[in-house]
Amino acid sequence: MTETWIIVGATSSIARAFARSCAARGVELHLLGRDMPELKRLAADCTLRGAASAKAVAFDARKPEKFEDIIDDAAQSSSILNAAVFVGSMPAQSAIDANPSLIDGVIQDSFTGPARLLQLLAPVLEERGSGTIIGVGSVAGDRGRIGNYVYGAAKAGFATYLSGLRNRLGRAGAHVVTVKPGFVDTAMTWGIEGMFLVASPEDIATSLIKAADKKRNVIYTPFFWRYIMLIIRSIPEFIFKKLSV
């Protein structure tokens, strides 16, 4: 049975690596994002790397009125329908502190936008009784930190949403994987001081494919971030509030 993957936020580093891994498996790809020329480049690349088809689709997390058409189009294919969500935005916390209206955009990009898209996809998967959704959250969502608590809050919201969606779709035979990557070597982290144990997008993509194949529920990737976050979560609040980790 062939597969179709809707990749939301496809031009990000991890999404690109993931799309290529999918392409090598001969799937049909719907590559969603804002940067049309880049999406087209990626589509050509994925086709040459073995994708059955690859289509660039305009998507803006802040324009939900377009979502229905996007899902309808992907649902035309009779193959197993899947989605992987990589969108999110992380302006510097200091920029948000100076201009609180930025919060709305972060929440839309990282949480409510993708949630509204998945909300439209969910009934399709329920009806078909198959399919996998990979939702990429972040370790930043595990605890609010001084450095990026708005982004963290959005990702935490998204993780909670995914947990509920898993509960819902699991009953119908579809599956939801929540992924929490640690530091990944992407344009978002390039040149930021204090990065450590940085993983390559290719390694993350491989772990996503594995997690989807094995129907894992929540994964940290690379795996050791589960333990790092376990420690961070277990720091009592009266101490944590004084830290700037």
Partner 1 sequence: MRWKKDELRGWGGALTMEAELARPERQTALTDTLAETPCPAIGARRSYGDAAIARHAIDMTRLDRLISFNAETGLLDAEAGVTISDILNTFAPKGWMPAVMPGTGFATLGGCIAHDVHGKNHQLAGSFGQHVESVLLMGPDGKTQRISLKSKPKLFRATIGGLGQTGIIMSARLHLAKCPAGNMAVHERRIEDLDSFLEAFNASRADYQVGWLDMTAKDTHLGRGILEEAHFASGPFVPSKKSRAVPFYLPGFAMSTPIVKAFNWLYTKRIPEAGRDRERPLHKFFFPLDTIQHWNRLYGKRGFHQFQCVLPDDEAPATLALMLEAVASSGLASPLSVLKRLGHGRGGMMSFPMEGYTLAVDIVNKPSAKALLARLNELARNAGGRVYLAKDSSLEAGYLPAMYSELEDFRAEASKADPEDAFETALVKRLNIRGQA
Q: Which has the closest alpha carbon to 134: 198, 75, 81? A: 81
Give the C-alpha separation, 26 to 123, whole Å: 26
Out of 27, 29, 32, 42, point to the residue binding partner 1 (CB under 8 A).
42
- Tell me how far, at minimum, the Cβ of 24 lies from partner 1, in Å: 9
Instruction: Count other Cβ atoms within 10 Å, centred on residue 71.
Output: 21
Instruction: Tell me which of 35, 72, 73, 97 binds partner 1, using CB under 8 A.
Output: 35
User: For partner 1, which residue of 62, 190, 217, 241 counts as binding (CB under 8 A)?
Assistant: 190
197 touching partner 1, by CB under 8 A: no
192 lies in the site for partner 1, by CB under 8 A: yes
Binding mask 93-112 for partner 1 (x = CB under 8 A): --------------------
Q: Which stretch binds partner 1 (CB under 8 A): 34-42, 59-67, 91-99, 169-177?
A: 34-42
Q: Choose the binding region for partner 1 from 140-148, 151-159, 189-197, 211-219 (rule: CB under 8 A).
A: 189-197
The region of 30-38, 84-92, 168-176, 237-245 touching partner 1 under the rule CB under 8 A is 30-38
Tell me: does residue 41 bind partner 1 (CB under 8 A).
yes
4 lies in the site for partner 1, by CB under 8 A? no
Least distance between partner 1 and beta carbon 191 (Å): 4
Cite the beta strand spans of the chain per DSSP E. 3-8, 28-33, 53-58, 80-85, 132-136, 175-181, 218-221
Q: Provide the 8-state DSSP code for 221.
A: E
* Whole-angstrom distance, CA of residue 173 vs CA of residue 203: 28
Nearest to 43 by CA among 207, 196, 32: 32
CA 112/CA 104 separation, integer angstroms: 10
Q: How many residues can be counted in the chain? A: 245
Residue placing its CB nearer to partner 1 in the complex, 198 or 235: 198
CA–CA–CA angle 53, 59, 61 (5° rounding):
140
Binding site for partner 1 (CB under 8 A): 11, 13, 16, 35, 37-38, 41-42, 44-45, 48-49, 186-187, 190-192
